[in-house]
Amino acid sequence: MNRHRDLLQRDAKHVWHPFTQASIAPEPLPVVRAKGSWLELADGRRLLDAISSWWTCNHGHSHPDIVAAISHQAATLDHVLLAGCTHPPVVELSERLVSIAPKGLEKVFYSDDGSTAIEVALKLAFKYWANTGRPEKKHFVALAHAYHGDTVGAMSAGDHGAFGGSYASLLFPVERIHHGYNNSCTGCVEASQRPGLGLAKLREIFEARSGEIAAMIMEPMVQGAGGMLIQEPEFLRGVRELCDAHDVLLIADEVMTGFGRTGKMFACEHAEISPDILCVSKAITGGTLPLSATLVREKLWNAFLGQDKARAFLHGHSYTGNPIACAAAVANLNIFASEPVFKRIEAIEAVYEERLPALLEYDAVSEVRWLGTIGAVELKSDVKGYMSNKAASLASKFLEHGYLMRPLGPVLYTMPPYSTKSEELHALYDVFEKLLSQ
C-alpha cells in the first residue's frame, strides 16, 4: 500500500479532527513536509499554505533559525515547571515581548494556545476587581461576530451563533455590541459612520451599568473567524476612550492579529492605543509550537500582591512557559530584526490592493476587504455566517490547483506566510478569477 493511502486508513481508525463533521468531510490531506510557504503531501503534491496553517506560520514553515533554536533548547533544557522555577528563554521572551508590546504592558503570564490566553485574561479581569474591592464588576462586553476560542470562557465571550450555539446553556452571558460594520447593508452605512454605531451602543451600556462591568474584550482591527471583518481605527480608539471614561478594562485579543499580520507588529498600533490586557499566541513561535501569552499592566499585577495567598492568581498549566516554545518565540522575534519582514508584508498587501478590487466585477462577489497580509473575498450568500457553504466548493477547486484555503462561511480569504512571493500570490488570484468566471 502506498504511503498516502496507508496514512489515510490509519488516520480514519483513530484520529478525531477538529471542526470536522467526519460523516461528510472529504478525506484529510496527508502532509509529510513543509518548507517556506509550501506543504508537501505524501503523494508528492505541493500546496501553497494560503492560510498559514490556521494563521500560525508567519515567516514560513521550518524557518532554519527557529528550527535551530528549538533543537538547541531541546538539548539544553526541555522543560521545567514555571511555579517556583525560572529559565533563560522565559526571561528573555518576557523582556522582548514587553519591549515590543503597546506601552504600559509590563507583566507576562504564559499558557498554551489562544483560548487559554483568553481564559487567563477573563479570570484576571474578574479577580482584579474582586481584589480591589469591587466584586460587583464581574460582567463582560464583547463584539458580535467575535471568536475567542473554544474553551468555555472563550466561547462565552465569542459569538454563540458561530461555534458556541450548542453549548449556550453552559456559557456565561455577555453584553454584545456590533462594531458598526454592516455586512448585509454595505453601502447604506458610510464607512466613516460605522464606528459611531457600535460606540453609541457601548456608551449606552457603560452609562447604564459600567459599575457591573469588568472588561470589554475584542479582536482589534480584524475579527478573524467571524469572517475577516475589518474595523476602522476610530472604533478601537473610541472603545479605549469609553473604557477609560467608565473604568472598564480593555482586553485586546491579538491571537490572530499579533506579530505583523495586519501590517503592524500589533493591530492596536493602527489606533495608537494600549489595552489593559493583551492576548497573543499563534505566530508567537513562528507557527512551530503551541504557546500563548497574556500581558497586563502593572496595576493588574499590583492588585494580586499581598500576604494573603488567596489574592494571588492561582492558575497555571503543566507546560506554562515551556523553554523550547519560549526559545522558538525568541527566534521568531529575532527574524523581525534580521530579515525585511515588514517589506514582505507590504508586498503582500500591495497584491491585494491590485487584485481584490477587480474581483468585485464578478457576479458572485459581494465585498472585498484587506488589511496587511489578510485579504478577504465575501461571496453573495442567502445563508449568513459560518454555516453558509457558499465558498466551500470554490475552496475545493482551489485545492485542485494547488492552494490550501479554508473558507469562513461565505468568505474565502488568503493569509499566507510572509515568505510568499508576490508572483505566487498573483498566481493564486489568477486562479481566483478563472474560478469565478466559470
Ligand X SMILES: Cc1ncc(COP(=O)(O)O)c(C=O)c1O
Which has the closest alpha carbon to 277: 129, 74, 76? 129
Q: Which of 109, 110, 129, 147 binds ligand X (CB under 6 A)?
A: 147
Strand runs (DSSP E) across 222-283, as ranges?
222-223, 229-230, 249-253, 277-280
CA atoms of 344 and 421, how far apart (whole Å): 8
Q: Fill in the DSSP letter of residue 408.
A: B
Q: Taking CB under 6 A as the rule, does residue 255 contact ligand X?
A: yes
State the minimum distance, in angstroms, from the CB of residue 153 to ligand X: 11
Q: Which of 52, 131, 281, 414 binds ligand X (CB under 6 A)?
A: 281
Stretch that binds ligand X, among 147-155, 294-302, 392-400, 406-414 (CB under 6 A): 147-155
The footprint of ligand X on residues 207-226 (CB under 6 A) is: 219, 224-225
CA atoms of 347 and 331, how far apart (whole Å): 23
Q: Which of 62/151 has CB closer to ligand X?
A: 151
Q: Taking CB under 6 A as the rule, does residue 256 contact ligand X?
A: yes
Q: Taking CB under 6 A as the rule, does residue 149 contact ligand X?
A: yes
Stretch that binds ligand X, among 64-72, 137-145, 146-154, 325-333 (CB under 6 A): 146-154
CA atoms of 152 and 164, how far apart (whole Å): 9
Q: Report whether 220 contacts 267 (CB < 8 A).
A: yes
Which has the closest alpha carbon to 180: 238, 134, 129, 250? 238
CA atoms of 332 and 335, how far apart (whole Å): 5
Stretch that binds ligand X, among 31-39, 97-105, 108-116, 377-385 (CB under 6 A): 108-116
CA atoms of 403 and 390, how far apart (whole Å): 18
State the cell numbers at 20: 470536522
Q: Taking CB under 6 A as the rule, does residue 253 contact ligand X?
A: yes
Stretch that binds ligand X, among 81-89, 110-118, 137-145, 378-386 (CB under 6 A): 110-118
Which has the closest alpha carbon to 124: 252, 348, 296? 296
Cβ-based neighbours of 278, under 8 Å, separated by 6 or more:
101, 102, 105, 251, 252, 254, 266, 268, 294, 295, 296
Q: Report whether 100 contacts 265 (CB < 8 A).
A: yes
Size of the site for ligand X (CB under 6 A): 14
CA atoms of 292 and 253, how far apart (whole Å): 11
The footprint of ligand X on residues 355-394 (CB under 6 A) is: none
Q: Which of 48, 118, 303, 374 binds ligand X (CB under 6 A)?
A: 118
Stretch that binds ligand X, among 19-27, 144-152, 233-241, 322-330 (CB under 6 A): 144-152
Q: Taking CB under 6 A as the rule, does residue 114 contact ligand X?
A: yes
CB under 8 A, 24+ apart: contacts of 201-207 = 201/177, 202/141, 202/177, 202/238, 202/239, 202/242, 203/242, 205/141, 205/175, 205/177, 206/242, 206/245, 206/246, 206/248, 207/246
State the minimum distance, in angstroms, from the CB of residue 226 to ligand X: 9
The footprint of ligand X on residues 297-316 (CB under 6 A) is: none
Q: Which of 110/432 has CB closer to ligand X?
A: 110
Q: Sign of the C-alpha dihedral, residues 156, 159, 165, 169?
A: positive
Q: Taking CB under 6 A as the rule, does residue 159 contact ligand X?
A: no
Q: Taking CB under 6 A as the rule, does residue 148 contact ligand X?
A: yes
State the minimum distance, in angstroms, from the CB of residue 225 to ligand X: 5
The footprint of ligand X on residues 325-354 (CB under 6 A) is: none
Kind plus residue range of the DSSP H or E element containing 309 = none
Q: Which of 37/285 has CB closer to ligand X?
A: 285
Q: Which of 146/348 has CB closer to ligand X?
A: 146
Q: Taking CB under 6 A as the rule, does residue 164 contact ligand X?
A: no
State the minimum distance, in angstroms, from the CB of residue 115 to ligand X: 3
Q: Which of 113, 119, 232, 367 binds ligand X (CB under 6 A)?
A: 113
CA atoms of 297 and 286, how far apart (whole Å): 25
State the minimum distance, in angstroms, from the CB of residue 148 to ligand X: 5
Q: Taking CB under 6 A as the rule, does residue 179 contact ligand X?
A: no
- What is the binding site for ligand X (CB under 6 A)? 113-115, 118, 147-149, 219, 224-225, 253, 255-256, 281
